[in-house]
């Protein structure tokens, strides 16, 4: 369960990075 949570957090971070990248353009 903890493992899944960690993966979800990493996915969230990746999404945030993508969002930031789009905002810059």
Burial class (CB in 10 A: 0-12, 13-18, 19+), 20: exposed
Residue 25: band (very low, low, confident or very high) from pLDDT cuts 50, 70, 90? confident
| Average pLDDT for 3-16 | 90
Res 10 pLDDT > 80: yes
Domain count, the chain: 1
Res 19 pLDDT > 80: yes
Q: Domain limits at 5?
A: 1-25
CA distance 7 to 23: 25
* 25 DSSP 8-state letter: -
Cα dist from 4 to 1, 8, 24, whole Å: 5, 6, 31
CA distance 7 to 10: 5
Q: What's this model's pTM, rounded to 2 decimal places?
A: 0.45
């Amino acid at each position: 369960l903890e493992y899944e949570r960690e993966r979800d957090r990493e996915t969230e971070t990746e999404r945030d990075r993508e969002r930031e990248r789009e905002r810059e353009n």
